[in-house]
Structure 1
Amino acid sequence: MSKSIRNAAAILHRPVMAGWVVALALAFALPVQANETLRIGYQKSSTLITVLKTQGTLDKALAQQHIDVSWHEFPSGLPLLEALNVGNVDISADVADTVPIFAQAAQAKLTYFAQEAPSPSAQAIVVRQDSPLQQLSDLKGKKVAVTKAAGAHYLLIAALKKAGLEFSDIEPAYLSPADGRAAFENNKVDAWVTWEPFLTSAQRQLPTRTLADGAGLASYKRYYLTSTSYAKAHPEVLKVVYEQLHKTGEWVKNNPREAAQVLSPLWGNLDVATVESANTHRSYQVQPVKGDQLGEQQKIADAFFAAGLLPKAVDAKDVDIWKP
């Protein structure tokens, strides 16, 4: 190649090289934008959220929006909503219908963003098979194990009212599900009020008899909540979470054995047959929350206030609702 040709090629190449140099310099100079993180609080009993967590489905869906997910487990619903209220998590997995009422009484700024359709048979008041207690009115003066502020707590109040009793007519033993099971099994209490999967586990492993489930007493909805500030700032994130919850609810109902196999190790290696049976009592039907359908929430609030378990009366409709 002649010298003149080489010089011409070099001149033509200089702008290209210069462009690459500038591009590389800009690439190194500009900061890499970090993904946002969605912090989700959940309990072991948060079925749909734990399935999403285990299968990685929600992580993948949100990654498309450059959002990472961090998972935070809580022992029960009240500490979970307290963490939500103070900003330690962004979204709460499902909690029993009673829990938001206590959060409202504490003036928490929370927003409903989904609910599961009623599952009244997913909780019940049980006694031992040989118990002399035959009907709800027989609970008068008896010691009853129940988890404070849980859906089962409202079921107990509603059942006592149906029997013409006040909450003060019994001796409540406020225990976690595990401690309630131990007290029931060891004859430390006369009755136990619990929910799935603890209910089916006890019914399959112990000689029990059911005094009443939620039918006609407590519909037992499960609610998903977020902070009001997060709902206003990230509606697109809630849309993805809602869609994934809805799909997972349908998958659990349409694939009961496979879902039970996923949940079994997450629920303390509870046998698959028990998990599958317990899930037949839950609707897992994810729906939007509507203000005109919060009537039972008001009944719950009024019942707890009348029983002296809330510091003040609560207007159940005085809440924010995100609509998908």
Structure 2
Amino acid sequence: MRRRLAPAALLLPLALLLSACGGNSAASTGGDTDGSGSLTLNVGDQKGGSEAILRAAGELKNLDYKIKWSTFTSGPPLLEAVNAGAVDIGGVGNTPPVFAAGANSKITVVAAWHGTSKGDAILVPKDSKLSKPAELKGKSIAVAQGSSANYQLVASLEKAGLKLSDVKVKYLQPADALAAFTSGKVDAWAVWDPYTSQVLQAKTGRVLTTGDGITNGLTFQVAAPAALRDKKKAAAVEDYLDRLRRAYDWVYDHPEEWAKVWAEETGLPYQVALDAVKLTNASRVPVAVDKPLIASEQEIADTFTDLKLIPRKVDFSRFVDPRFNGKLPASTTAPRVFKETS
């Protein structure tokens, strides 16, 4: 197979390459957020994630508790820390909680956002002859195991009349997947934004299909049950979630400002960050942890159980807590539509 050289624009910063919605990677401890009071809320985060959004939106001011941030390279190890009680709460995509539930981890989904899945894509090289998902039969596809892209790949293949066994899956984390994709060692790459936006900006690949209308587009904040049983920590969790919801509202109203901050945090080119913000981040609307959400996640869990990637039947309803729903709309509420400003 002809090799393609990776352009410099595609060489994402290491910190971002390690960030993912899935995979097994270690965590590193970040700094503290100044606040008053003796209570400390331990929050798990990913590079350019919740802390950066909250700080940019001015939502880390006037705290009556302290936040100790721990930075993780992906969702699964973050949830391992939640399970161990080292982290009180942290943000992940739609698939890591399913795998954690499959391992009977001590985790509880306490908040959700519904966004577009247009940034979740199966990419092919620019000069690929593939024109539709059904043509992926027999082809090699890179994807991070246990990630939201993993489910997006399964669902996209199913819609095209294919099974996972009909393709050659290469379970690779983003850094290795990017190298395989740009060097022509795989025929396609199932991935999420900002990788999608970066490949499109560099014009080295194109979208074969997206998760839009196929996957649920949900992201979560997941807490440790022990933290929720502590009245003071539960109150801090509620305040933290309120601040995070307001911060995402700020992102929708200030996409350019957030893209600048995100680019600085991750090392992404500004235009790539802005494209990703418009495609995914700005679309997220806070929604309730409700029965439709549980049913949607249950479908993901059942899919991976049938594929024997999760060893047992999962009852996802055991891993949610709706106490922080307030007056939030249903989880089926449509994502925001980004409005271009003049």
TM-score range, shorter chain: 0.7 to 0.9
Secondary structure in 2 aligned to 1:122?
coil
CA distance in 2, matches of 1:320, 1:120: 22
Q: CA deviation at 1:55?
A: 6.5
Q: CA deviation at 1:54?
A: 6.0
Secondary structure in 1 aligned to 2:52?
helix
CA distance in 1, matches of 2:96, 2:133: 25
Q: Is 1:38 aligned to 2:74, yes or no?
A: no
**Counterpart of 1:140 in structure 2: which amino acid?**
K
Q: Is 1:303 aligned to 2:303, yes or no?
A: yes
* Alignment match, 2:123: 126
Superposed, 1:130-279 pairs within 5 Å as 130-233=127-230, 234-267=233-266, 269-279=267-277
Q: CA deviation at 1:53?
A: 4.7
CA distance change for structure 1 residues 91 and 164 in 2, over 3 Å: closer, same or farther? same
Q: CA deviation at 1:296?
A: 1.5
Secondary structure in 1 aligned to 2:121?
strand
CA distance in 2, matches of 1:100, 1:275: 26
**Counterpart of 1:303 in structure 2: which amino acid?**
T
CA distance in 2, matches of 1:292, 1:154: 18
Query: Contact between 2:53 and 2:248, CA under 8 Å: does it hold in 1?
Result: no
Q: Which runs of 5+ in 1 are unaligned?
A: 1-32
* Alignment match, 1:9: none
CA distance change for structure 1 residues 255 and 123 in 2, over 3 Å: closer, same or farther? same
Query: Contact between 2:57 and 2:247, CA under 8 Å: does it hold in 1?
Result: no
CA distance in 1, matches of 2:203, 2:211: 21
Secondary structure in 1 aligned to 2:279?
coil
Secondary structure in 2 aligned to 1:294?
helix
Q: Aligned residues, how many? A: 285
CA distance in 2, matches of 1:144, 1:162: 16
Please point out which of 50, 53, 59 is paired with 2:52. 50
Secondary structure in 2 aligned to 1:82?
helix
Q: CA deviation at 1:164?
A: 1.6
The runs of 4+ residues in structure 1 deviating greater than 6 Å are none
Query: Contact between 1:125 and 1:194, CA under 8 Å: does it hold in 2?
Result: yes
Query: Contact between 2:57 and 2:250, CA under 8 Å: does it hold in 1?
Result: no
Query: Contact between 1:148 and 1:175, CA under 8 Å: does it hold in 2?
Result: yes
CA distance in 2, matches of 1:181, 1:136: 20
* Alignment match, 2:66: 68
CA distance change for structure 1 residues 121 and 34 in 2, over 3 Å: closer, same or farther? closer
Q: CA deviation at 1:294?
A: 1.9
Query: Contact between 1:111 and 1:322, CA under 8 Å: does it hold in 2?
Result: no
Q: CA deviation at 1:198?
A: 1.1
CA distance in 2, matches of 1:203, 1:318: 40
TM-score (normalised: structure 1): 0.83
Query: Contact between 1:257 and 1:272, CA under 8 Å: does it hold in 2?
Result: no
| 1:105-160 C-alpha deviation (Å, 9 max, x unpaired) | 11112111111113211210010121122211211111101111111100100011
* Alignment match, 1:26: none
Deviates more, 1:132-141 or 1:150-159: 132-141
Q: Is 1:100 aligned to 2:92, yes or no?
A: no
Query: Contact between 1:291 and 1:321, CA under 8 Å: does it hold in 2?
Result: no
Q: CA deviation at 1:50?
A: 2.6
Query: Contact between 1:159 and 1:217, CA under 8 Å: does it hold in 2?
Result: yes
Secondary structure in 1 aligned to 2:110?
strand
| 1:216-271 C-alpha deviation (Å, 9 max, x unpaired) | 2112211111011211212211111111111100111101111111111112x212
**Counterpart of 2:317 in structure 1: which amino acid?**
K
CA distance in 1, matches of 2:115, 2:252: 15
| 1:185-208 C-alpha deviation (Å, 9 max, x unpaired) | 111110001111111011111332
Deviates more, 1:204-213 or 1:182-191: 204-213
Q: CA deviation at 1:34?
A: 7.1
Query: Contact between 1:61 and 1:240, CA under 8 Å: does it hold in 2?
Result: no
Q: Is 1:116 aligned to 2:123, yes or no?
A: no
TM-score (normalised: structure 2): 0.79
Q: Which runs of 5+ in 2 are unaligned?
A: 1-35, 325-342
> Which protein is richer in helix relative to its size?
1
CA distance in 2, matches of 1:175, 1:251: 34
